[in-house]
Amino acid sequence: MTDTATSFDTIEPIFGEQGVDALVPIEERDDAGNLRMQCTTQGGQLHGLLLKSSESGKPLMQASFNKGKLQGRMTLYEENGLPAQTSEYREGLLQGQMRIFSQGRCISEQQYIHGKLEGKSATYDFAGQLTSVMHFVAGQLHGVAEFYSQGECVRRANYKHGSLDGESLDFNRYGEVVQRSNYRTNLLEGYFIRYWPGGEVMERTQYSQGTPVAPTERFDQEGTRVDQNFARPSLLERIKIFLRGD
């Protein structure tokens, strides 16, 4: 993920007798005379507080600038006036917490350093239940990531510098492991295993660099192999084998 910088086009300065360093207030109004935007500029750049409003007068955006770059908190609003997003900036780059909302409820929160995701990130459904917990280093997934459905963990995976690396587990609603796999830099490596309810192995395939290196082994719930590669010979075949003396 690249650095996230936010800046705005330079606004034509209105110097007059105030000079280049003077703060110049600017307002924008619609045809009905309603105030839609107000800010201040310095030397043709946004500097200070910027406010934007909807046609009904409700806030749409509030942000602070320093010499044309976002500095401090920025808040975006939904049409109903509830916050849609809050974020912190330093010299135009995201720095600190970002939170995203839907109808006033937080559905996502992340941390940024120098414009890149860093540390713990979490998302939530509209009922407020956790849907994911991930960890980032310098903008890349790194460490354990967990994904949830109706409050229960359904997947746990390991990442290294943005790639799946290590063990990944999938769970059913009872918390039982239904699938186990291992990755190395996004490629399956080692055994990919699926389980019957209760924990018995259902299928097992060995991988190397994302490619199967042996036929899939299949088992019934009693642990007996049932795939064709290991099928027990029929009675007729056993008689033939006996007569051949094999």
Domain boundaries defined on the chain: 1-101
CB-based contact 151:167 (threshold 8 Å):
no
CB-based contact 170:179 (threshold 8 Å):
yes
Structure confidence at residue 170 (pLDDT): 97
What is the mean predicted confidence (pLDDT) over 60-88?
96
pLDDT digits (tens, 9 = 90+) for 121-180: 999 999 999 999 999 999 999 999 999 999 999 999 999 999 999 999 999 999 999 999
CB-based contact 71:88 (threshold 8 Å):
no
Please tell me which residue, 214 or 15, carries the higher pLDDT value: 214
What is the mean predicted confidence (pLDDT) over 86-104?
97
Q: CB under 8 Å to 38, separation ≥6 — which residues?
A: 25, 26, 27, 28, 50, 51
pLDDT band with cut points at 50, 70 and 90 for residue 14: very low
Percent with pLDDT over 70 in the chain:
85
Task: Output the furthest CA–CA distance in the chain (Å, rounded).
Answer: 113
Per-residue 3-state assignment (H helix, E strand, C coil) for the chain: CCCCECECCCCCCCCCCCCCCCEEEEEEECCCCCEEEEEEEECCEECEEEEEECCCCCEEEEEEEECCEEEEEEEEECCCCCEEEEEEEECCEEEEEEEEEECCEEEEEEEEECCEECEEEEEECCCCCEEEEEEEECCEECEEEEEEECCEEEEEEEEECCEEEEEEEEECCCCCEEEEEEEECCEECEEEEEECCCCCEEEEEEEECCEECCCCEEECCCCCECCHHHCCCCHHHHHHHHHHCC
pLDDT digits (tens, 9 = 90+) for 190-218: 999 999 998 999 999 999 999 999 999 99
Structure confidence at residue 180 (pLDDT): 98
Q: Which amino acid is at 231?
A: A
Percent with pLDDT over 90 in the chain:
76
pTM: 0.79
pLDDT band with cut points at 50, 70 and 90 for residue 238: low
CB-based contact 208:191 (threshold 8 Å):
no
Name residue, tokens 């750049």.
Answer: 45
Name residue, tokens 């086009």.
Answer: 9
Structure confidence at residue 4 (pLDDT): 46
Q: CB under 8 Å to 59, separation ≥6 — which residues?
A: 51, 52, 53, 75, 77, 81
Strands 201-208 and 211-212: antiparallel
What's the distance, CA 85 to chain centroid? 16
Structure tokens belonging to residue 132: 């994911």
Which of 4-18, 53-67, 108-122 comes out lowest in average pLDDT? 4-18
What is the mean predicted confidence (pLDDT) over 50-63?
94
pLDDT band with cut points at 50, 70 and 90 for residue 41: very high
Pick the CATH number of 1-101 from 1.20.1630, 1.10.3470, 2.20.110, 1.10.10: 2.20.110
What is the mean predicted confidence (pLDDT) over 7-33?
69
